[in-house]
Structure 1
Amino acid sequence: MRRARQTVISLALLALLPATASLAQTVLKLETSAPVDRVIASGDGVILQVGARYQAIAACTDSVGLCVVPATAPTGPKLAPANGLPDGSVATAPSGDINGAWYARPTGRYAHGVLGDAVEAGSLVVNTADERKLELILPEAQVFEDITPRIADLDGNGSNEVITLRASLSGGGGVVIYGLVDGDLREIAAGSENGRPNRWLNIAGFLPRLDGGLTIYGVRTPHIGGRLFSLDFKDGAVAERNDIALDVSNHVIGSRELDLSAVGEFGGRTELILPSQDRRRLRFPLSDRADIALPGPIDRAIALVDGHIVTATESGDLLVIRP
């Protein structure tokens, strides 16, 4: 990442919260030149969109070890091609049989608008390692209520799966997994739907399993109660756990920001981080780590830098949290 001269902006301590876990939890506010509009985790590091400018979180000699410095715009993912979802992007993978995926055939046939508009996707398109483009078109009663699909090798067998958020007129949102079967793009597994239309869910993260696969974690109805669930895809089948935790969220209704959660390693343990339902606490629902109170509700992405959690409040205050 190219940077201008390193003009360091001051750091202000908001609170040192009482420790109910083994270590004190610290919430800090980093001053920025204007309120933070977006927190972007990219290959260039953690970039902040601050009005028309970009800034970055960088290591420095400050007592906390992190400072805000000028930065250039991050290199974002490639936008979906013609007939793709208008603001969708192309997910990519460096290896495997599927190396690109995006949503296409925009449609208004599912009138929910949980992501801020009435446009969803009617098909999934993938690029394969042998340079083919394949498209799977949904029936009229279904849409992809999502922005960009995800590519991962969920079962650790060397072949990639495409993980999507699909909604139906009968059952609402669910996680659906696609892959290549005999050279064709097909649905290969699915979790349960929410049970009624206009009930959405959002993926929260992927955590590694001991067998080399990945567990999908997500939040059902993040705006209504917020229930954590997991899916394990193995031997061609899905094992599902529901209501692992309650009072969680990872989305603000009407927002295009889907990254209000993160997976990170703290104290030698991989943890899932996401907000409480009111977004005024950070929660670690897969461990005994205490919740972290925040100075206000957050609605920007959650990112990780050098063992710290970075996010921002609804008012644009940049927060750095030491769990």
Structure 2
Amino acid sequence: MKHISCQYLELLDENTVRHKTPWRVSIFSLVVFLMTVVFLEGSPVYAQELVIRQSDAPLVKNSTKPPVGQLPLSRVAEGEHDIRRAWFAGPTSRYTHGVLGDAIEASQLVVETRSGHHIIAQLPPDRVFEDLEPRVVNLTGDQTDEILAIETHLQQGASLVVYDLVGDGLVPIAATPFLGKAYRWLNPVGVGDFDGDGAVDVALVATPHIGGILRLYRVNGDQLSLFAEYAGVSTHHIGSTELGLGRVVSTSPRDHILVPNQARRRLMLLEWTPHGWREHDHADVPGVLETSLIPVGPHQWRFQVDTGISYDVFVVQ
């Protein structure tokens, strides 16, 4: 069997070969080593890094003419399939948490369909939509839209609920459990295939103001089933109307998540694997992250810090 000298291996692992005594290793052993590196934890390792650069471009946000009755400070979301637009309405002061800029929450979720019909989901008196923008997504892959909304119980705190158009109604079809206590809130990050099984999962940050926990859920019938957690993150600060401080990064074989740490001074690129979480890279933010990460290109987002300066963050592979 052919051999190679230890001097070559010294480039691969300098801690393994320190002496000058000649020794040899089989090509088979080297191949096994390289396969372990390239296919770590059952999937290819792609060198990804985060790069943050100052930007002179303005931070431009999408804006549309508000529909009649739209909740103050809220935003209209647009769909791609059977939902044209969605927004929150029915302002109410029955829940006084006030973490989203004021103490006015929504009691209604309104959808405008492609055919021009308006459909309303009305909450009972013990609940509110503690939210500012419906997230129109496609969880089922059936060319129809679903909506993710933060639904809060006055005594049990927040839950993430999936709404769907069923017949002539807008109805909840799946949800996470409530957080269990009043004035406990969560903030969705987005959807993606986070476990590599081909199905769409949901990511959110629970209690982002008090030890935020990134949580991943699978859609399991009428439930969103928790399968992974990562502590020490935050995608919101009290009083802000900015909710998009975390983003899903599309990649293969599993989608990644770009999220700030609890202090919002560092961005982390995270991937869940069957063997646990992997931090591909992190980058320190030149200040405190204040705004949503606004998409401005493939794997590129723009944001502002507390000094008012804008930066772009890139995921480089």
Q: Do both proteins adopt the same fold according to a TM-score greater than 0.5, normalized to the shorter chain?
A: yes
Classify the secondary structure of the residue corresponding to 1:288: strand
User: Matches of residues 35-184 of structure 1 in structure 2 within 5 Å?
Assistant: 48-49=58-59, 76-79=63-66, 81-96=67-82, 98-184=83-169
Q: Contact conserved, 2:175 with 2:224, CA < 8 A, in 1?
A: no
CA distance in 2, matches of 1:238, 1:279: 31
Cα 1:265/1:122, change in 2 over 3 Å? closer
The aligned runs of 1:1-323 (5 Å cut-off) are 22=47, 26-30=51-55, 32=56, 48-49=58-59, 76-79=63-66, 81-96=67-82, 98-208=83-193, 213-233=199-219, 236-241=221-226, 244-265=229-250, 270-286=255-271, 287-304=278-295, 305-323=297-315
Bigger CA radius of gyration:
2
CA contact (8 A) 1:168 1:197 kept: yes
Whole-Å separation in 2 of the counterparts to 1:153 and 1:159: 6
Ranges in structure 1 where 5+ consecutive residues have no aligned partner: 1-20, 33-46, 50-72
By how many angstroms is 1:123 displaced? 0.9
Which AA in structure 2 matches 1:141? D
Q: Quickly say closer, same or farther: Cα 1:170–1:243, change in 2 above 3 A.
A: farther
Relative to total residues, which structure has the larger helix share, 1 or 2?
2
Give the C-alpha shift of residue 203 in structure 1.
0.6
RMSD between aligned alpha carbons?
Answer: 2.5
CA distance in 1, matches of 2:181, 2:89: 24
- Report the number of matched residues: 262
State the partner residue of 1:14: none
Check conservation: 1:227, 1:243, Cα contact below 8 A: no
Secondary structure of 1:189's aligned partner = strand
Deviation at 1:306, TM superposition (A): 4.6
Aligned residue type for 1:315: T
The letter for the 2-side match of 1:147 is L
Please report how far the alpha carbon of residue 294 of structure 1 lies from its aligned counterpart in structure 2 after TM superposition: 2.4
Tell me how far 1:274 sits from its aligned partner. 0.8
Offset at residue 23 of structure 1 (A): 6.2
Q: In structure 2, how many angstroms separate the alpha carbons of the residues matched to 1:288 and 1:167?
A: 32
Cα deviation 1:240-288 (Å, max 9, x = unaligned): 2265100011111110011111222479863210100001111123243
Please give the TM-score of this superposition, normalised by the length of structure 2. 0.74
Q: What is the alpha-carbon distance in structure 1 between the residues aligned to residue 63 and residue 227 of structure 2? A: 34
* Residues 99 and 85 of structure 1: CA distance in aligned 2, closer, same or farther (over 3 Å): same
The sequence identity of aligned pairs, in percent, is: 32
2:280 aligned counterpart, secondary structure: coil
Secondary structure of the structure 2 residue equivalent to 1:87: coil
- Matched residues in 2 for 1:270 and 1:231: separation? 13
Whichever residue aligns with residue 256 of structure 1, its letter is T
Which letter does structure 2 place at the counterpart of 1:136? A
Contact map agreement 2:50 2:282 (CA 8 A) in 1 = no
3-state SS of paired residue (2:160): strand
Structure 1 residues 86, 295: CA separation in 2 closer, same or farther (over 3 Å shift)? closer
